[in-house]
Amino acid sequence: MAATLIRGQNVDIRMWTRPDEVEEFAMRQLQNISALPWAVKHIAVMPDVHYGKGATVGSVIALRDAVSPAAVGVDIGCGMTAVRTSLTASDLPETLRGLRSRMEAVVPVGFGQHKATAFTERDASDWGSFWKRFDDLTPAVKARADKAMHQMGTLGGGNHFLEVCLDTDQRVWVMLHSGSRGIGNELAQHHISVARTLAHNAELPDPDLAVFLSGTPEMAAYRHDLYWAQDYARRNRAVMLRLVCDVLRAEFPRVLFEEPISCHHNYVAEETHFGEDVLVTRKGAIRAGRGELGIIPGSMGTGSYIVRGLGNPDSFQSASHGAGRKMSRNKARKTFTAQDLAAQTSGVECRKDSGVVDEIPGAYKDIDTVMANQSDLVEVVAKLKQVVCIKG
């Protein structure tokens, strides 16, 4: 669909969804974001947009010499990784419960962590230098080093997941969604709190939109910690992918894996748009530069898409990060039951209890509508349907 342009305050708002389908609180947030004096050109709003802390989920913001940590989100570097295997549906056992159990045994979920560190030189060759950089993070997290090491290679809870999927050619894929775990959250919360105290943010319409300015020690400290957390998130997904692929290797000794696809969807990048060097925050959005591969998941019962970016300049070369919630977790728990969850995830080997009812497909927007709304941002490479879904 063609994007809709709405009058903002300092800059306009360009939306890849119908304005009347955006919740009132989210629309108010977008107007607040458009008032930021550092904003460049317009605010790009993805079709999965919904209310978030400070900045809406599904927003892409280009700022001149400034960055708002709330426009990144508290799960710094959260994103997706997927890999296509040589297996086909016919290779999988008739009952997938055992495969799910073996995967759950190697990847802790929820608040779980590894008893012994899980990362190895098979995942990266520079772990020493990576962990040494931990010493230079804000002193507020200095006591978290051991926890961060043992959470490396863990899934977390909420909307994070690990899946085995089939594409339309019946090829088997492994796909997972996770971020920078507890350490990324603590770093984000610390810097959001710092930003709120700075004098230049006193007149902002929402204190949670507080920014750091280039050339200041606060900005330097934030960017240092931010880039480390984004790296942590990328490595976290790589470790989990290797652990799960090892399960498949044990089960299917001849299995082969293609090159993984990986993308952040809560992050900051230094980019050039409309002839200007800017700091781009994508909160619930992936980069979709021309030819770049990305992953756009749906909910736990509806499937996902592998996409190729079209490089649309009006979206700051971005696309949605998923289906996006249409109701809060609390509302989902009040609206649906475990029986509803079982019905909506029929055919998927997954949890079907009340503990994950807030992740029921009915709490999310329709992924196919989301994809149709961004046909000028990405093209579909493959459509996947999960047969195993693991959640915390």
- Exposure string for 49-66, b = 16+ CB within 10 A, e = fewer: bbbbbbbbbbbbbbbeeb
Helix (H, G, I), strand (E, B) or coil at 247: helix
**Residue 321 designated active-site:** yes
Q: Are 111 and 105 in contact (CB under 8 A)?
A: no
| Neighbour-count burial of 169, counting CB atoms closer than 10 A to its CB (0-12 exposed, 13-18 middle, 19+ buried) | exposed
Angle at 327 between CA 181 and CA 160, to 5 degrees: 25
- Exposure string for 335-352, b = 16+ CB within 10 A, e = fewer: ebeeebbeebbeebbbbb
Please give the single-letter amino acid code of residue 75. Answer: D
- Exposure string for 181-213, b = 16+ CB within 10 A, e = fewer: bbbbbbbbebbbebbbeeeebeebebebbbbbb
Both tokens assigned to 282: 């994508």
| Neighbour-count burial of 178, counting CB atoms closer than 10 A to its CB (0-12 exposed, 13-18 middle, 19+ buried) | buried
Instruction: Please list the active-site residues.
Output: 321
